[in-house]
Amino acid sequence: MTLRQRPLPTRGRGPDPQFFEPFNIIPIHNILIDHPSLRYPEVRAATSAISAAGDLRKPPFSPWHDNMDLLDWLGLFFGFQGDNVKNQRENLVLHLANSQMRLQPPPAAMDSLDSGILHRFQQKLLKNYTSWCSYLGKKSQVRLPKRHNPNRQRNELLYVCLYLLIWGEAANLRFAPECLCYIYHHMAMELNYILDDHIDENTGQLFVPSTRGQFGFLNNIVTPFYVTIKGEVGRSRNGTAPHSAWRNYDDINEYFWSKRCFQRIKWPIDISSNFFFSGDQRVGKTGFVEQRTFWNVFRSFDRLWVLLILFFQAATIVAWERTEYPWQALETRDVQVLLLTIFITWAGLRFVQSILDAGTQYSLVSRDTKLLGVRMVLKSMVALTWTIVFGVFYGRIWSQKNSDEMWSHEANQRILTFLKAALVFVIPELLALVLFILPWIRNVIEEADWTILYFLTWWFHTRIFVGRGVREGLINNVRYTMFWVAVLASKFSFSYFLQIKPLVGPTRALLNLRNVRYRWHEFFTSTNRIAVVVLWLPVVLIYLVDMQIWYTVFSSLAGSTIGLFSHIGSEATVVHKLRDAIHRVKLRYGLGRPYGKIESSQVEATRFALIWNEIIITMREEDLISDRELELMELPPNCWDIKVIRWPCFLLCNELLLALSQARALAEET
């Protein structure tokens, strides 16, 4: 039957009796009917593979029919809904058939499913589950027989079908993929019990899943999680409640990033667990909590603030010597020792950082996350200890120097002691620098699920499941470093020579003035400290914010340079420009046609006409367009006496109106 001979249904016509059972794309419920998709051997191979129930133990709760397949078997055992089983059956057949169609070279047995296709699909589908098991140190429940075992393909299909059925009926739990991994882990374990004919210790009979019965998976698994999510939505008060007062999908999902989910939720699911509570005793935030406070400005950019404060202190010490260049002041031992005070400031700033972390993330600390609270307290104590240690060592340096009235050998030894302590203090920063320069090492450390690495990195950050091993490459890190080196070098040079150094002279003069009477109230008598503060305050404020100006300037320069070398927005070649100029001249003086003539005998034109008409006729069969619209949109067939392709009528409407207007204009002129 040709395309033009195909009968077109009219509106309101009933479906063909052979398609009485609804389907989406492939009617795999009846492979004997005449449907185009069932003519492909790959579809028949996938359908035949999932139909091989074989000698599997029959479900004890529902009657078993010979035409049922592996998905029906899982649906009856684990309580999945019938429509979910139908949808996932079609989904699986489409995946496997499409994969086998792309297989090169094609398999010798076209009517049988290739084992490599199924194995690759299983690995891709269960990749997140496998990573999750490795992350938590749990053994995967996907246990396949040896390669030559005849039941290997069937068992592999069972694991794949089980995951698809869980995903198809999980509803909003799809936004919590590790929660699905937890569910799949235990249901796969129950599947293994069924395959092994395991005897239940409580009943003394063959094991049956905890989700058995009609709608068992929906009622026993999905509903408790859904009710919990619904309760959290109510606590959010349409997003107006504080972020720390309710859990979103990320918080629920991150609960399954630790082994405590096995101890608290258990299996079968313990509804009395505090994870399912919606009151004050429920599980709180697990990964990150956003406190709406002004201090987030300092906490989010803490490294930048630390860098600006430390450089300002060092630049002020060096500029106070009033040398022409800063490196000339570094030749003095007094200046060298004064610069050691930046370590005291640095340790103090770390203490402030720890306080900010504790103040903004205290909501994460709960009975289940005690170690997080311990780490917050330890970080504050360690930072405070370093501040005291540096202060004591620094005081001992000057006490020795003042007692000897010179930089004696003993004083220099105390300087070395201070430097050794400073080296220990900056070791974490040096390690972070090495890992930044060599990103592949950091990727390996983050992706490795070794307990020893977890203990070594526990002090620096919380262990997470997602976002590991996604560091930029070495080349990108070098470019990023060069950009910020240029920005910081320009900013600090400008700040030193044009902001800090020019104020040293006036500051010295103000401090040396005596017996000055001010009209305002003097908080410090016999000094000019208030005047010095007023002098430095605007400069310090500009110093803290002009980083944005330098960043904007260098971002524009870097972006322009990248665009220039990438030829963004420019013509490709001079030859391209020349061809366009010649084409415009031809069009202006009528030396050429604006478009090339397409003859109807050309292969591409004929192929396009066939595909186009097939699409239009299919739209008519689906009752999306009418007969009149079909006639306007179809491409007329070729004729022996017409050499050019005849376009659809709706494309010629504008040309027809233009021709009529020109004819009308000519008629009026005559």
3-state secondary structure 360-394: HHHHHCCCCCHHHHHHHHHHHHHHHHHHHHHHHHH
Which of 198-207, 277-286, 578-587, 626-635: highest mean pLDDT? 626-635
Structure tokens at 476: 């990108």
Spatial separation of the C-alpha atoms in residues 573 and 54, rounded to whole Å = 66
Q: DSSP label at 172?
A: G
Q: Is the C-alpha dihedral spanning 391, 397, 400, 403 positive or negative?
A: negative
**Mean pLDDT calculated for residue range 646-654:** 74
- Would you say 34 and 653 are in contact if contact means Cβ atoms under 8 Å apart? no
Task: Decide: 348 and 387 in contact? Cβ < 8 Å.
Answer: yes
Task: Identify whether the C-beta of residue 50 lies closer than 8 Å to the C-beta of residue 70.
Answer: yes
Q: Match 């096995």 to its residue by tokens.
A: 262
- For residue 107, is pLDDT > 80? no
- How does residue 30 score in pLDDT terms, banded at 50, 70 and 90? low
The confidence score (pLDDT) of residue 348 equals 92
Write down the pLDDT at residue 489. 92
Per the model's pLDDT, the better-predicted residue between 498 and 104 turns out to be: 498
Token pair listed for 70? 């592996």
In this prediction the pTM is 0.71
Cβ proximity of 329 and 323 under 8 Å: yes
Q: Please report the pLDDT score of residue 581 as a whole number.
A: 77
389/424 Cα distance (integer angstroms): 12
CA distance 245 to 36: 55
Short-list 301, 313, 225, CA closest to 545: 301
Is residue 291 within 8 A of residue 363, CB to CB? The reply is yes
Residues 578-597, mean pLDDT to the nearest whole number = 64
Q: For position 301, what pLDDT does the model report?
A: 82
pLDDT at 17: 47
Residue 3 has pLDDT above 50, yes or no: no
Please tell me whether the peptide bond between 105 and the residue prior to it is cis, using omega within 30 degrees of 0.
Answer: yes
Residue 596 pLDDT greater than 60, yes or no: no
Average pLDDT, the chain: 80
Residue 186 near residue 166, CB atoms below 8 Å: no
CA nearest to 381, candidates 345, 340, 335, 347: 347
Dist CA 389 CA 395 (whole Å): 10
What is the pLDDT confidence band of residue 290, given thresholds at 50, 70 and 90?
Answer: low
Highest averaged pLDDT of the listed ranges 21-25, 560-564, 589-593: 560-564
Q: Tokens 């070279």 — which residue?
A: 105
d(CA 275, CA 272): 8
204-227: pLDDT as tens digits: 788 888 888 888 889 888 888 888
Residue 170 clears pLDDT 90, i.e. is over it? no
Q: Which of 85-99, 369-383, 576-590 has the highest mean pLDDT?
A: 85-99
Which of the pair, 235 or 27, is modelled with greater confidence?
235
Question: For residue 183, how many other CB atoms are within 10 A of its CB?
Answer: 25
pLDDT at 516: 67
Helices (H), 448-573: 451-457, 474-495, 501-512, 529-545, 547-565
Query: Read out DSSP for 173-220?
Result: GGG-HHHHHHHHHHHHHHHHHHHTTPBPTTTSSB---TT-STTHHIII
Residue 129 in this model has a pLDDT that exceeds 90: yes
pLDDT score, position 5: 41
Residue pair 45/63 in contact (Cβ under 8 Å)? The answer is no
Amino acid at 142: V
The torsion angles phi and psi of 617, rounded to 5 degrees, stand at -65, -40
Provide mean pLDDT across the span 452-469: 72
Average pLDDT over residues 298-306: 83
CA atoms of 137 and 625, how far apart (whole Å):
58
Q: Cα(first)–Cα(last) distance of the chain, in Å?
A: 54
pLDDT at 642 over 50: yes
**SS3 at position 267:** coil
The tens digit of pLDDT for each residue in 410-419 reads 888 888 999 9
Q: Is the pLDDT score of 9 beyond 50?
A: no
State the residue for tokens 């046609």.
593
Q: How far is Cα 151 from Cα 40, in angstroms, rounded to an integer?
A: 25
pLDDT of res. 12: 43
Locate 237 and state its tokens: 């008060």
- 279 against 408, higher pLDDT: 408
* Between residues 278 and 315, the one the model is more confident about: 315
pLDDT given at position 165: 93
What residue type is 289 in one-letter code?
V
The pLDDT of 279-285, averaged and rounded, is 60
Cα separation, 264 vs 258, whole angstroms? 11
Instruction: Report CA torsion sign: 216, 217, 220, 226.
Output: negative
Buried b (16+ CB within 10 A) or exposed e, 91-111: ebbbbbbebbeeeeeebeeee
Report the share of the chain in percent with pLDDT over 70.
Answer: 81
Q: What span, in angstroms and rounded, lies between the C-alpha atoms of 112 and 97? A: 11
- Which own/partner pairs from 141-145 qualify as long-range (CB within 8 Å, at least 24 positions apart)? 141/185, 141/186, 141/188, 141/189, 141/191, 141/192, 142/188, 143/192
Summarize pLDDT for 373-395 with one digit per residue, the tens: 788 888 889 999 999 999 999 89
> How far is the C-alpha of 448 from the C-alpha of 127, rounded, in Å?
16
Spatial contact of 321 and 315, defined as CB atoms under 8 Å apart: no
Pick the range with the lowest mean pLDDT from 60-69, 128-137, 290-299, 316-325: 290-299
For residue 35, is pLDDT > 90? no
Q: Answer whether residue 159 shows pLDDT above 90.
A: yes
User: Tell me, what's the pLDDT at 541?
Assistant: 92
Half-sphere exposure of residue 154: CA atoms within 13 angstroms, side-chain side: 17
Residues 450, 468 contacting (CB under 8 angstroms): no
> Which pLDDT value is given to residue 18?
47
Q: How far apart are CA 43 and CA 47, in angstroms?
A: 6
SS3 466: coil
- Give residue 571's pLDDT band: very low, low, confident or very high (50, 70, 90): low
Banded model confidence at residue 601, pLDDT cuts 50, 70, 90: low
- By CB atoms closer than 10 A (0-12, 13-18, 19+), residue 126 is buried
Q: Under DSSP, is residue 457 helix (H, G, I), strand (E, B) or coil?
A: helix
d(CA 598, CA 104): 36
Specify the pLDDT at position 507. 85
pLDDT of residue 491: 92
Distance from the Cα of residue 660 to its chain's centroid: 58
Rounded (10°) angle between helices 82-101 and 41-50: 140
Whole-Å CA distances, 513 to 500, 503, 509, 531: 21, 16, 6, 11
- 199 phi and psi, to 5 degrees? -95, 125
Check residue 1 and give its pLDDT: 36
